[in-house]
Structure 1
Amino acid sequence: MLAPQQPPPKPRLAPLGLALLLLTCRSERAGADDCAVILDRIVALELAEQGYRDPELTRRKQQEFARRFAPELQRCEGLSLPPGARECIARAASAEEISHVCLR
């Protein structure tokens, strides 16, 4: 005799998945300009934290890092930006704030 067939279990993660999908839909995608701004801001903040305040040095380092991390900048394009990320990045006081607050 065969045991009665039980209905398949309902997915418990469906509400969580839906919430994540809705959050992703609300977020914007990073463009090339966004990715460049993020890198430039991180470089400027890191240099300032190390005591360097020369705008010319900052500009040169930003260009150097843009060349060095060109593949990473391309991969950045199209990634999801959390709501308010651009404003958060602009007012961030440290590189850690950008990575741990603005981009989460």
Structure 2
Amino acid sequence: MTDPQPTPPPRSPRLAPLGLALLLLTCRSERAGADDCAVILDRIVALELAEQGYSDPVLTRRKQQEFARRFVPELQRCEGLSLPPGARDCIARATSTEEISHVCLR
């Protein structure tokens, strides 16, 4: 005769509210579209150039286009990622790249 398999312990109902809360947080966040990802990259490039002392809008646009071509795979991976509430406004108001990465996108 073989020993019967032990029955697993019942799941704790206390984990259900935690799972529901995580699900609701995920539902409240928005997903980044291609335009969002492009805006984030453009803003980072513009801020980096400004921090280096460049203020020529033609140079800024040229660098933004160059980086958009260079980082196509990264921009594609960005699409669909979760954006925290208020991220778009925060990115538009950011005064440094650190603010974008450490405040707006967290």
TM class by smaller structure: 0.7 to 0.9
Q: Cα offset for 1:24?
A: 1.1
Distance 1:103 1:19 in 2: 20
Query: What TM-score, normalized to structure 2?
Result: 0.85
Distance 2:8 2:79 in 1: 46
Distance 1:41 1:72 in 2: 15
Distance 1:63 1:13 in 2: 47
Q: Cα offset for 1:8?
A: 3.1
Deviates more, 1:35-44 or 1:6-15: 6-15
Q: Cα offset for 1:7?
A: 3.4
Which one has the largest radius of gyration?
Answer: 2
Distance 2:33 2:97 in 1: 20
Q: Cα offset for 1:5?
A: 6.3
Q: Which runs of 5+ in 1 are unaligned?
A: none
When residues 51 and 16 of structure 1 are mapped into structure 2, their CA distance, relative to the original with a 3 A threshold, is: farther
Root-mean-square deviation (CA, aligned residues, Å) is: 2.0
Q: Cα offset for 1:85?
A: 0.6
Query: What TM-score, normalized to structure 1?
Result: 0.86
| 1:20-67 C-alpha deviation (Å, 9 max, x unpaired) | 221110111111100000000000001111111111111111001000
Instruction: Using the aligned pairs only, state the percent identity.
Output: 90
| 1:76-97 C-alpha deviation (Å, 9 max, x unpaired) | 1111111111000000010111
Q: Which runs of 5+ in 2 are unaligned?
A: 1-5
